[in-house]
Amino acid sequence: MSRSGGLDLHFRDVVCRHGRLEAVAGVDLSVGAGERIALTGTNGSGKTTLLRAVLGLHRQVDGQILVGGRGSRTAAEWAWRRRACAWIPQRPAAGRFPLLARELLASSGAPAAAGEAAGRLGVGELADRPLSSLSGGQLQRMHLARAVGCVAAGAGVLLADEPTAALDFEGQEEAAEVLTSLPVTVVVVTHDRAMAARCDRTLEMAAGRLREVR
Ligand SMILES: Nc1ncnc2c1ncn2[C@@H]1O[C@H](COP(=O)(O)OP(=O)(O)OP(=O)(O)O)[C@@H](O)[C@H]1O
């Protein structure tokens, strides 16, 4: 199933290492533009490493990763890739500096859209608070809102690493609804069945390898 607005993703024989440990062991995967993929699997099976490799946050990578048909050999290609991919990290950090929530939202490139999403996600009132003063769930909602802003600013892919893990039940529903209704390609690492059910395909990772389960 594909919708307009997203970029396709291709992984060709992707291997990721942490030192001598092979965390991703030869992944081949094509994700169509606008498709939504749920990535599940046991702890430590390589899901986070694979998503971080797309963004250049993990660098010990062999094989090829293409986003919208583009590789990542030059600094300019990496800069394009980071704008093309909205990212929700697994453990959002408040950062070392006293960053305000409003500044995080503005860093999406579309502060108005991110602010509006923060309102929908119930954290609009917290925009003037330092991120370090937010609860885990509030911080995760702020990162979700930032990702919505990134999409409004032109990102064509959303990579999300357990974006609902810190949320209460109602928040999980709201977040799943917000994320899966964005007009982009989505790859979401999740252990949340409701989120997986909203996706077009579910892939399972085990010991660095992928298999399709739905
Ligand atoms: N910085 C690191 N240094 C060394 N090994 C690492 C590092 N980060 C991850 N690993 C190892 O790489 C493997 C894959 O880890 P990864 O975080 O990608 O798994 P995951 O599937 O996302 O797990 P989880 O479901 O627990 O979040 C694990 O064996 C982990 O211990």
pLDDT tens digits for 83-92?
Answer: 999 999 887 6
Q: Are 12 and 72 in contact (CB under 8 A)?
A: no
Q: Which CATH superfamily is domain 9-212 in?
A: P-loop containing nucleotide triphosphate hydrolases (3.40.50.300)
| Distance from residue 57's CA to the centre of ligand 1 (Å) | 13
Q: Ligand 1 test: best mutation among 15, 17, 21, most atoms within 8 Å of CB?
A: 21
Ligand 1 interacting residues, C-beta cut-off 6 A = 18, 21, 23, 41, 43-49
Give the tokens for residue 55: 């963004």
Nearest to 212 by CA among 36, 38, 26: 38
Residue 205 CA, closest ligand 1 atom number:
21
What distance in angstroms lies between residue 127's CA and the mean position of ligand 1's atoms? 32
d(CA 170, CA 185): 24
Quickly state the pLDDT bin for 97 (edges 50, 70, 90).
Answer: low
* Ligand 1 centre distance from Cα of residue 46 (Å): 6
DSSP 72: -
- Contact assessment for residue 10 and residue 30, using Cβ atoms and an 8 Å cutoff: yes
Query: Which pLDDT value is given to residue 140?
Result: 92
pLDDT of residue 94: 65
Instruction: Give the predicted TM-score (pTM) of the model.
Output: 0.93
Q: What is the pLDDT of residues 104-143, one digit of tens each?
A: 999 999 999 999 999 999 999 999 999 989 999 999 999 9
What distance lies between CA 143 and its chain's CA centroid?
A: 10
CB 153 within 8 A of CB 173: no
Q: Determine the distance separating the centroid of ligand 1 and the alpha carbon of 48, expressed in angstroms.
A: 7
Q: 10 Å Cβ neighbour count for 124?
A: 16
Q: Taking the CB of residue 154, how many other CB atoms lie within 10 A of it?
A: 12
